[in-house]
Chain A
Amino acid sequence: MMVTEINSITPLLAVLVSMIASVLILASGKYPNIREGWTFVAAFIKFGLVISMLPLILNGKVITYTVVEMLPNLPIAFKVDAFGILFAITSSFLWIFVTSYSIGYMRSLKEHAQTRYFFCFAIALSSAVGIAFSANLITLFLFYELLTISTYPLVAHNETPEAISSGRKYLTYLMIAGVSLLFSILVVYHYTGTTEFSFAGIAGMETIPQTTLIILFITFMIGCAKAAFMPLHAWLPAAMVAPTPVSALLHAVAVVKAGVFTALRVILYVFGVDLMQYSGIWLYMAYFVSITIILASIYALMQDNLKKRLAYSTVSQLSYIVLGAVLITPHGITGGMLHIPYHAFMKITLFMCAGALIVTAKKEKISEMNGIARQMPITMLAFTVGALGMIGMPPVGGYVTKWFLLLGAAELHSMILIAVLLVSAVLNAAYFFPVIYVAFFKKPDHELKYKEAPLTMLVPLVLTAIISIVIGIWPDAPGMFLDIVEIAVANVTGGV
Chain B
Amino acid sequence: MTGFDLIAPHLPVLTVVIPLIAGFLTPIIGWIDRRLPWYWVMLAMFVVLLIAGNNLVTVINSGTIHYKLGGWDPPFGIEYVIDLLNGFVCLIIAFIAFMVSIYSKESVKKEVPGKTTPFYSVFLLLITGLMGMTITGDIFNFYVFLEISSLTAYALIAMGDRGDGVVASFNYLIMGTVAASFILLGIGYLYAVTGTLNMADMQNLLPGVYDSKVVLAALAFFMAGFSIKVGLFPLHAWLPDAYTHAPSTASALIAGLMTKVGVYAMIRFMFCVFTPAFVIDVNMTEILTWAAALAIIMGSVFAIAQSDIKRMLAYSSISQIGYILLGFGLVNVVGITGGLLHIMNHAFMKCALFLVAGAIFYKTDIRNIYQFKGLGKKMPVTTTVFLIAALSMIGVPGTVGFTSKWYLALGSIEANQWIFVAVILVSSLLNIVYFWRIFDNIWFGHPHEIENIKRDEAPLTMLIPMVILGILCVYFGFFSGDLIEHIFEPLAKTLLGLGGVP
User: Hey, which bits of chain A sit against chain B, CB under 8 A?
Assistant: 68-72, 74, 76, 112-113, 116, 138, 141-142, 145-146, 149, 153, 156, 159, 164, 167-168, 171, 175-176, 179, 182-183, 186-187, 189-190
Contact = CB atoms under 8 A, between A and B. Distances in A.
A167 B414 CA distance: 36
B478 A179 contact: no
A176 B394 CA distance: 12
B410 A189 contact: yes
Majority DSSP secondary structure for residues of B touching A: helix
A112 B447 contact: yes
Interface string B441-483: 0011111000000000000000000000000000001111110
Contact of B429 (A112, A153, A168, A175): A175
A186 B429 contact: no
B446 A171 contact: no
5 contacts: A68-B481, A69-B482, A175-B432, A176-B429, A179-B425
Given A149-B396, A171-B436, A179-B429, A186 B413 contact: yes
Contacts of B447: 112-113, 159
Contact of B425 (A69, A70, A159, A183): A183
Contact of A68 (B444, B479, B489): B479
A207 to B, nearest CB: 15
Contacts of B345: none
B191 interface: no
Interface string B322-365: 00000000000000000000000000000000000000000000
Given A70-B403, A159-B445, A179 B428 contact: yes
A72 B410 contact: no
Contact of B403 (A71, A149, A187): A71
Given A156-B444, A182-B425, 16 more contacts: A68-B479, A69-B481, A71-B406, A71-B481, A72-B489, A142-B397, A145-B396, A146-B398, A159-B446, A164-B444, A171-B436, A175-B429, A176-B429, A179-B428, A190-B410, A190-B413
A24 B429 CA distance: 32
Nearest to A153: B443
B360 to A, nearest CB: 21
B440 interface: yes
A180 to B, nearest CB: 8
Majority DSSP secondary structure for residues of A touching B: helix
A171 B477 CA distance: 23
A174 B154 CA distance: 44
Contacts of A187: 413
Interface string B392-419: 0000111000010011011001100000
Given A70-B403, A71-B481, A189-B410, A159 B444 contact: yes
A141 B397 contact: yes
Nearest to A144: B397
**Interface centre among A72, A112, A146, by most B CB within 10 Å?**
A72
**Interface centre among B391, B432, B446, B481, by most A CB within 10 Å?**
B481
Interface of B: 391, 396-398, 403, 406-407, 409-410, 413-414, 421, 425-426, 428-429, 432, 436, 440, 443-447, 477-482, 484-485, 489
Contacts of B477: 70
A189 B444 CA distance: 38
A159 B442 CA distance: 12
A116 B444 CA distance: 11
B440 A164 contact: yes
A71 B425 CA distance: 19
B403 A186 contact: no
Contacts of A168: 436
A176 B489 CA distance: 30
Contact of A149 (B391, B410, B429, B489): B391
B349 to A, nearest CB: 17
Nearest to A26: B380
A71 B484 contact: yes
A142 B397 CA distance: 5
Contacts of B397: 138, 141-142, 145
Contacts of B489: 72
A141 B397 CA distance: 7
A76 B410 contact: no
A145 B443 CA distance: 19
Given A171-B432, A171-B436, A183 B421 contact: yes
A167 B398 CA distance: 23
Contact of A71 (B413, B429, B440, B480): B480
Contacts of A76: 478
Contact of B484 (A72, A116, A149, A190): A72
B143 to A, nearest CB: 38
5 shortest interchain CB distances as A-B pairs: A69-B481, A142-B397, A112-B447, A179-B425, A159-B444
A141 B398 CA distance: 10
Contacts of B409: 182-183, 186
Contacts of B398: 142, 146
A187 to B, nearest CB: 7
Contacts of A164: 440, 444
Contact of A72 (B413, B444, B481): B481
A145 B413 CA distance: 23
Contacts of B414: 190
B282 to A, nearest CB: 29
B414 to A, nearest CB: 7
Contacts of A71: 403, 406-407, 480-481, 484
B327 to A, nearest CB: 15
**Interface centre among B391, B428, B447, B478, by most A CB within 10 Å?**
B478
Nearest to B451: A112
A153 B481 CA distance: 32
Nearest to B413: A190
